[in-house]
Amino acid sequence: MKYTQRKIYVLVVSLAVLSGLVFANRGSKNETKASNLQETKKWEASPDGIRYKEWELSPAGKKVHASFDKIKREINTFSEMEAVVSSVTFQRENAKSSGPKWLIVRIQGEEYMMQFVPSEFQQLQNLQVNDKIIVKSRSAGYSPNHPYLILSGDYIALKKQVLFKRDFSKNKGC
């Protein structure tokens, strides 16, 4: 009988301790959320934040957001997307020639940008305009400084031959 009472006592005490930890952690999460919200509001009030919000509401910003909506499912599931190469020589205004290299592709009637460091881009140097490729991407980003949605170029194949595949083991998936 005493043994059973001890078991129940240990279970009740354990449950009480765990409940306390859960509620304590919940409070710190709320504090973190409040802090992040405060930082976001501060940034939105800055000149960069105001410029970004204006861009989001502009036709160009709305177009970029709509292009993301077209391929959101494929990005979330890391699925293959059929693409046609639009440009292999795109360069942003005032950019250094030694800077990032851009591949512009058309997917489902929309243009998308893919950025590569020069060493990665060498694997893609044989691509030509109008080549039909398969693209997989894990993420996308918006920027008022870019005319199209920026896709991460994680996988590119031409005629079932893999031209580029990002190695996530080197950067722990980041």
Is 56 part of a structural domain of the chain?
Answer: no
Is 173 part of a structural domain of the chain?
Answer: no
Closest of 150, 155, 151, 149 to residue 168, by C-alpha: 155
Is 62 part of a structural domain of the chain?
Answer: no
Is 59 part of a structural domain of the chain?
Answer: no
Q: Quote the number of domains for the chain.
A: 2
pLDDT < 50: residue spans in the chain: none
Alpha-carbon dihedral 69, 70, 71, 76, rounded to 10 degrees:
40
Overall pTM surpassing 0.85 (yes/no): no
What angle (nearest 5°) sits at the alpha carbon of residue 56, between those of residues 41 and 140?
Answer: 95
The answer to whether residues 39 and 83 belong to one domain is no
Which residue range forms the structural domain that includes residue 109?
A: 75-165
The answer to whether residues 82 and 155 belong to one domain is yes
Q: Which residues contact 158 (CB under 8 A, 6 or more apart)?
A: 127, 131, 132, 133, 134
The answer to whether residues 88 and 28 belong to one domain is no
3-state secondary structure labels for all residues of 80-94:
CEEEEEEECCCCCCC
The answer to whether residues 116 and 159 belong to one domain is yes
pLDDT tens digits for range 81-96: 999 999 998 877 777 7
Is 63 part of a structural domain of the chain?
Answer: no
The answer to whether residues 159 and 90 belong to one domain is yes
Is 143 part of a structural domain of the chain?
Answer: yes
Q: At what angle do helices 2-45 and 47-57 cross, to 10 degrees?
A: 90
